[in-house]
Amino acid sequence: MAIIGGGIAGLALAAELAELDGRLVERSGGARPELRIVLLERENQFAYHTTGRSIATFSESLGSPQMRAVTRASRTILDALGAESGTPLLRTRPIVWVADEEHLDRLNRLLTGNPALRAVDPAAAQTMCPVLRESVVARAAVERTAQDIDVDALQQQYRDRATAAGAVLRTAIGLETGTRDPDGSGWRLTTDRGELHAGRIVNAAGPWADAVAGRLGVTPAGLTNLRRTVAIVSAERIGPSWPLVMDVGEHFYFRPERGGLLVSPADETPSPPTDAVAVPRDVSLAVERATTATTLRLQRVRTSWAGLRTFAPDRNPIVGPDPRHEGIYWFAALGGTGIQTAPALARLAAAQLLDEPYEIPGLRLETLLPR
């Protein structure tokens, strides 16, 4: 089996698949042949693209109700992975969701049926983040269970587990083309480092998932890549334990980071798949909006970056076998919640690929199917 892409999707799947296969081989007393798993990553390092550019938040309020179910399932896995390795992967940082007068309806929708959130008045929000300006908070909600995710430790842990369980993870090798064997036994793949044969292919190529489909002669999923910009700005009087402040109107978010303030204009600019860079206009917008939302005097932009969040038309991930193309499995379109949903989605994908049962409570599987 070949997995294309070494971001969080591909790495989590390689680990879950290799470990589950190992258990099944053991259970069969060695009668079942071991699955050979190879992951191909085009860059010289894993997690170089979207996975390395997230703001690493875990929130049970993001995405569709289906994605919230997946996020809750991931929480259990992240806690267990942290406990097993002795390195906690999550650290509590509440989110304060703020709405101005114009976006009160959005806050109400966010609060509806969401046990993770509690409505608070503007004064309570300001107690948690004393630099928040009154003008941006007509009403607020607090998510106390939100977390910062240690993405480096998470992806490293998946890499270690995948390798220990027998998967081969390769960097600096990009898929170029693939054709189905005439006898239907699998796929013949051409890479920039030679040819290989795979029974099945998992498309975990993030922003390039549709391009990879095209290289395999597979119908694309109609994905859109949206660029998002983040900057870290110097400022005085930053409280390291302040929450992440998220505007429900999707104009800004900010939180303390490495002694400065991490800011984003929550931009969504369509982009072809590429090595995304922050454009100065978007960085300025981030600083401008954080200046409007806080009483801070923001100073020098220390660093900035951008990444591509990849969405299917309905904004749910695409995880499942391609109904039109034998031997192709999709693990793509993780959107803006791929770090927090990958643990449960990878466990689900591994089970499906090995014909084993696995259920995520509250998730209707058809929501994820390639369409």
Ligand X SMILES: Cc1cc2nc3c(=O)[nH]c(=O)nc-3n(C[C@H](O)[C@H](O)[C@H](O)COP(=O)(O)OP(=O)(O)OC[C@H]3O[C@@H](n4cnc5c(N)ncnc54)[C@H](O)[C@@H]3O)c2cc1C
Tell me which residues touch ligand X (CB under 6 A). 4-10, 40-43, 47-51, 53-57, 174-175, 204-208, 212, 228, 230, 307, 309, 334-340
Nearer to ligand X, 55 or 98 (CB): 55
Nearer to ligand X, 6 or 260 (CB): 6
Write the DSSP symbol of residue 169.
E
Nearer to ligand X, 94 or 122 (CB): 94
Burial of 163 (0-12, 13-18, 19+ CB in 10 A): middle
Exposure letters 167-183 (e unless 16+ CB within 10 A, then b): bebeeebbbeebebeee
Query: Within 10 Å of residue 320's Cβ, how many Cβ atoms?
Result: 20
Q: How far is the CB of 295 from ligand X (least distance, A)?
A: 25
Query: Within 10 Å of residue 124's Cβ, how many Cβ atoms?
Result: 14
Q: How far is the CB of 276 from ligand X (least distance, A)?
A: 8
How far apart (Å, rounded) are the C-alpha atoms in residues 281 and 285?
6
φ, ψ dihedrals at 182, nearest 5°: -60, -30
Cα dist from 236 to 56, 130, 174, 239, whole Å: 24, 13, 45, 9
DSSP run (H or E) holding 362: none
Q: How far is the CB of 177 from ligand X (least distance, A)?
A: 10
Nearer to ligand X, 111 or 311 (CB): 311
Q: How far is the CB of 31 from ligand X (least distance, A)?
A: 34
Q: How far is the CB of 275 from ligand X (least distance, A)?
A: 9
Q: What angle do CA 294, 300, 303 make, to 5 degrees?
A: 100
Could you give the 3-state DSSP secondary structure of residue 357? coil
Nearer to ligand X, 190 or 234 (CB): 190
Q: How far is the CB of 149 from ligand X (least distance, A)?
A: 7
Nearer to ligand X, 5 or 260 (CB): 5
